[in-house]
Amino acid sequence: MPRSSSHPETEVKLRLPSAVAGRRLLRRFGFKVQIRRVFESNILFDTPDFGLRRINNLLRLRLAGRRYLLTFKGTLLAGRYKSREEIESDVADPVAVTKILAGLGYKPAFRYEKYRTVYRKPRRSGLVALDETPFGDFLEIEAAPRSIDRIARELGFSPDDYITAGYGALYLEHCRSIGALPGDMVFTGRR
């Protein structure tokens, strides 16, 4: 049966030296794998004039393992955490959904890939995702603000380390820093 959810999403990203270092860190502090490493392919949709991006909304079709999800993320709320409404639903026919979105005036605007492993500490709130991207590795903590601070502090990070930008913006920043022309954020060879 298809699943859907609507909830406020509050998160931060933390830059890692490597995925190996991230796995060691999470294991050392008692975090256990909740969802094994899975490849994710994401397509962001927008209007031809980037109307969604202009108001910081997001419309995404994601393939995670064998599961397709359609996600809408609302406008960002100001603060030291990335916080916004998230509405998500399983998709049985991604080709039909893509055609529906095209009929409504949305086109693929950006494609990005990552590998994600989700961790949780037993009897504690909050999730920590280890994200491996084509330009670096990150932890993403999703929880209530107090829990984000507690988890980050426990792992050796401070609020100064918090990143609230999305992967698209981080990728563009990375391309600028190395003088590369940005395109889609995809792996050239699977890791």
List domains and CATH numbers for the chain.
4-178 (2.40.320.10)
Contact 143, 137 (CB under 8 A): no
pLDDT at 190: 57
Contact 44, 168 (CB under 8 A): yes
Which distant-in-sequence residues (6+ apart) come within 8 Å of 66 by Cβ? none
pLDDT along the chain (191 residues), means of 10: 73 98 98 97 97 95 96 91 96 97 97 98 94 98 97 98 95 96 88 54
What pTM did the predictor assign? 0.92
CA atoms within 13 A on the CB side of 65: 8
Which distant-in-sequence residues (6+ apart) come within 8 Å of 61 by Cβ? 42, 43, 45, 68, 69, 70, 71, 91, 94, 97, 98, 101
pLDDT at 1: 45
Contact 42, 61 (CB under 8 A): yes
Helices (H), 38-166: 51-54, 94-103, 145-154
pLDDT at 132: 98
pLDDT at 2: 57
Task: Output the CA–CA distances (angstroms, integers) from residue 30 to 38, 75, 121, 153, in the order listed.
Answer: 21, 34, 6, 14
Pairwise CA distance, residues 47 & 51, whole Å: 6
